[in-house]
Amino acid sequence: MSMKVSGFLMASLTFACAVWVAVRVLLPHPVLATFAGGLAGLLPLFVAQFKRGRRVRAFTEQFPDAIDMVVSSLRAGFAMSGAIQMVAEECPEPVATEFRILFEEQKLGLDIRQALLNFADRMPSTDAAIFVTSVLIQRDTGGNLAEVLEKIAYVIRDRFRILGEVRTFTAQGRLTGLILAMLPAGLALVLSVLSPGYMQHLLDNELGSMLITVAVGLQVVGFLT
C-alpha cells in the first residue's frame, strides 16, 4: 500500500470521529456512540489486513512456479543470484517484486544469507520460510539444491491443494456463521421499518442502549471466533 503511516492513522481517526458524531446525534447513549466509533476507527486496519491476506495468497499460488524457475535456472548452469534475477524478471506480481528486492539487496553487497532472511521477514508465508531455510541449510552442508527445491515445490502445491479442499468442505459452516452474525442486525432493521415504536422503546431507554452495545460486542466476538 502506498499510504503512509500518518495517513493511515488520520483515516482511522477521521472514521472514528465521524461515526461517533453521527451515532451521538441519532442516539442519546454515549457508550454506544463510543463503541461504534471504535469499530469505525478499525475499518482501515481491516482493509489493510484484507489486502495483506490477498497479497500473501497470490504469492503462495505463484511461489511453486517461481521455485520451478529457480530449479530450471540452476540446472541450466546459472548461479543462485542469476536464478533469483530470472524469477524477478519473468514471474508475475507479487513474486517478482519480492525476488527483485532479494536480488538487489545481495547485488548491492548484502550477504546472501541476510538477504534471504529479509525475504522471509517481508513475506509472512510458511512456504517462503521453508524455501529460505532449505537454501541456507544447503549452503552450509552442501548437496543438490535443485533437487531439494523441486521437492519443496511439490510439497507447497500439495499443501495448497489440501487447503483448498478444507475451504470447500467448510464453506457451508462459514456461510452459516456469516448469516447468523448478520441475522440480528437484519431483524432489528425489519422491526424498525414495520413497527418503529417497538424498537424505539429499546433505543430511548438507557438500559436498552447498554444491552444493544453488549449485544453488538458479543456478535463481533462470536463472528471472529
Closest by alpha carbon to 99, among 81, 124, 77, 114?
81
> What's the pLDDT score for residue 68?
92
> What's the pLDDT score for residue 63?
92
Residue 10: other Cβ atoms inside 10 A = 13
pLDDT in tens, 175-184: 888 888 888 8
> What's the pLDDT score for residue 103?
93
pLDDT in tens, 22-78: 888 887 677 778 888 888 899 999 999 999 999 998 998 899 999 999 999 989 888
- CB-based contact 20:36 (threshold 8 Å): yes
pLDDT in tens, 85-127: 999 999 898 999 999 999 999 889 888 889 999 999 998 888 8
Q: Is the pTM of this model over 0.85?
A: no
> What's the pLDDT score for residue 9?
94
> What's the pLDDT score for residue 188?
83
> What's the pLDDT score for residue 69?
92
> What's the pLDDT score for residue 45?
93
3-state SS, the chain, equals: CCCCHHHHHHHHHHHHHHHHHHHHHHCCCHHHHHHHHHHHHCHHHHHHHHHHHHHHHHHHHHHHHHHHHHHHHHHCCCCHHHHHHHHHHHCCCCHHHHHHHHHHHHHCCCCHHHHHHHHHHHCCCHHHHHHHHHHHHHHHHCCCHHHHHHHHHHHHHHHHHHHHHHHHHCHHHHHHHHHHHHHHHHHHHHHHHHCHHHHHHHHHCHHHHHHHHHHHHHHHHHHHC
pLDDT in tens, 189-214: 888 778 877 877 777 777 887 888 88
Q: Which three cell numbers stand for residue 129?
A: 520460510
